[in-house]
Structure 1
Amino acid sequence: MRLSFRLRHLLLSQLFLLPALTFSSCSQNNSEPVEKWVIGLVSYDAGAQSLDKYQNFKEYLEKQTHKIIELEPALNELQAVQQINSKTWSVVFAPPGLAAIAIGKNQYTPIFPLQGLNNLRSVLLVRDDSPFKNISDLANKVVALGQPGSAAGYYLPLYDLYGLTLKEIRFSSTPKTVLEWLSQGTIDAGALSEEEFQQYRNQFGTTKFRVLHTSRPVPAGVVLVSPAVDVNEQEQIKKAMSQATASIVEDAGYIPDAKLPDYTQFVKLVEKVRPLEAQVKKKPAVLEFNQNNAATSQPQ
Structure 2
Amino acid sequence: MPLHHFKKYLPLLALAGTLLSNSSVFATTYSIAVVPQYNVVQLHSEWQPLLDRIARDTGITLELSLQSSIPKFERGLLKGEPDFAYANPYHAVMAKNAQGYLPIVRDSKALTGILLVRKDSPYKNISDLSGKEIGFPAPNAFGASLYMRALLAENKIKFEQRFLNTHGNVFRSILNGSVAAGGAVNNTYNDEKPEIRDQLRIIYQTPGSASHPVIVHPRVPEAVRAAVKAAFLALPKDPAGLALLKEVRLPQPLATNYESDYLQLEKLGIEKFTLLEKE
How far did 1:146 drift?
1.4
Using a 3 Å threshold, how does the CA distance of structure 1 residues 144 and 257 change in structure 2: closer, same or farther? Answer: closer
Q: State the alpha-carbon separation in 1 of the partners of residues 192 and 229 from structure 2.
A: 35
Deviation per CA, 1:201-231: give whole Å up to 9, x if none: 63249x7322221111011222211023345
How far did 1:141 drift?
0.9
Which of 82, 88, 108 is the matching residue for 2:101?
108
Partner of 1:176: 168
How far did 1:99 drift?
2.4
Contact 2:92–2:102 (8 Å) recurs in 1: no
Contact 1:113–1:221 (8 Å) recurs in 2: yes
Any idea what SS the aligned residue of 1:143 has? strand
Partner of 1:189: 181
Q: State the alpha-carbon separation in 2 of the partners of residues 215 and 142 from structure 1.
A: 19
Matches for 1:6-25 after TM superposition, within 5 Å: none
Matches for 1:1-300 after TM superposition, within 5 Å: 36-43=29-36, 44-45=38-39, 46-50=42-46, 51-61=48-58, 63=59, 69-114=62-107, 118-162=109-153, 163-166=156-159, 168-200=160-192, 202-204=194-196, 208-231=199-222, 234-235=225-226, 237-238=228-229, 246-247=237-238, 250=242, 251=244, 253=250, 258=255, 260=257, 262-269=261-268, 272-277=269-274
Q: Flag the structure with larger Rg.
A: 1
Contact 1:144–1:169 (8 Å) recurs in 2: yes
Q: Percent same amino acid at aligned positions?
A: 22
Partner of 1:292: none
Aligned residue identity for 2:168: K
Partner of 1:23: none
Q: State the alpha-carbon separation in 1 of the partners of residues 174 and 77 from structure 2.
A: 31
Deviation per CA, 1:139-187: give whole Å up to 9, x if none: 2110001113422221221121113322x21112221211211111111
Q: State the alpha-carbon separation in 1 of the partners of residues 226 and 199 from structure 2.
A: 49
Q: Which runs of 5+ in 1 are unaligned?
A: 1-31, 281-300
If the length of structure 1 is used for normalisation, what is the TM-score?
0.67
How far did 1:119 drift?
1.8
Q: Which deviates further from its counterpart, 215-224 or 225-234?
A: 225-234
Aligned residue identity for 1:202: P
Any idea what SS the aligned residue of 1:74 has? coil
How far did 1:38 drift?
0.7
- Count of residue pairs brought into register by the alignment: 240
Aligned residue identity for 2:79: S
How far did 1:193 drift?
1.0
Q: State the alpha-carbon separation in 1 of the partners of residues 135 and 253 from structure 2.
A: 36
Q: State the alpha-carbon separation in 1 of the partners of residues 115 and 190 from structure 2.
A: 13
Using a 3 Å threshold, how does the CA distance of structure 1 residues 121 and 245 change in structure 2: closer, same or farther? Answer: closer
Any idea what SS the aligned residue of 1:219 has? coil
Contact 2:116–2:200 (8 Å) recurs in 1: yes
Q: State the alpha-carbon separation in 2 of the partners of residues 218 and 73 from structure 1.
A: 25
Using a 3 Å threshold, how does the CA distance of structure 1 residues 236 and 126 change in structure 2: closer, same or farther? Answer: closer
Contact 2:34–2:87 (8 Å) recurs in 1: yes
Using a 3 Å threshold, how does the CA distance of structure 1 residues 240 and 136 change in structure 2: closer, same or farther? Answer: closer
CA RMSD, Structure 1 to Structure 2 (Å)? 3.4
Aligned residue identity for 1:52: P
Q: State the alpha-carbon separation in 2 of the partners of residues 128 and 88 from structure 1.
A: 42
Using a 3 Å threshold, how does the CA distance of structure 1 residues 202 and 238 change in structure 2: closer, same or farther? Answer: closer
Q: State the alpha-carbon separation in 1 of the partners of residues 85 and 225 from structure 2.
A: 13
Using a 3 Å threshold, how does the CA distance of structure 1 residues 267 and 186 change in structure 2: closer, same or farther? Answer: same
